[in-house]
Amino acid sequence: MTSSPGTEVLLPPASGAWREGDPPGRRRWHARDKPLPLEAGGALPGVRLAYETWGRLAPDGANAVLVLHALTGDSHVSGPAGPGHPTPGWWEELIGPGRALDTDRWFVVAPNVLGGCQGSTGPDSRRPDGRRWGGDFPFLTQRDQVAAEVDLADALGIGRWALVLGGSMGGMRALEWAVSHPGRVEALLLLACPAAASAEQIAWADIQLHAIRADPKWCGGHYHDAAPGGGPHVGLGLARRLAHVTYRSEPELQARFGRSPQDAEDPWRGGRYQVGSYLDHHAAKLVHRFDAGSYVVLNEAMNSHDIGRARGGTRAALRRVTARTLVAAVDTDRLYPPSHQAELAAGIPSADRLRVIRSPYGHDGFLIETGQVAALVRELTR
Condensed to tens digits (0 to 9), the pLDDT of residues 75-119 reads 999 999 999 999 999 999 999 999 999 999 999 999 999 999 999
Q: Which tens digits make up the pLDDT trace of 287-304?
A: 999 999 999 999 999 999
CATH number assigned to the domain covering 28-198+306-381:
3.40.50.1820
Active-site residue, 333 included: yes
Mean pLDDT value of segment 179-183: 98
Domain ranges of the chain: 28-198+306-381
CB neighbourhood size of 378 (10 A): 13
Report the alpha-carbon distance of residue 52 to residue 19 in Å, rounded. Answer: 17
Residues 218 and 212 sit within 8 Å (Cβ to Cβ): yes
| pLDDT score recorded for residue 3 | 41
Active-site residue, 282 included: no
Give the length of the chain. 382
| pLDDT score recorded for residue 8 | 57
Catalytically annotated residue among 333, 340, 359, 364: 333
Catalytically annotated residue among 30, 85, 244, 363: 363
Active-site residue, 363 included: yes
Dihedral angle computed from the Cα positions of residues 260, 273, 88 and 303, in that order, rounded to the nearest 10 degrees: 120
Q: What is the DSSP string of 54-103?
A: ES---TTSTTEEEEE--TT--S--SS--BTTBSS--TTGGGBSTTSSB-T
Catalytically annotated residue among 78, 168, 249, 294: 168
Q: What is the mean pLDDT of the chain?
A: 96
Q: How confident is the model at residue 10 (pLDDT cuts 50, 70, 90)?
A: confident
Number of helices (H), then strands (E), in the chain = 11, 10
Mean pLDDT value of segment 240-255: 98
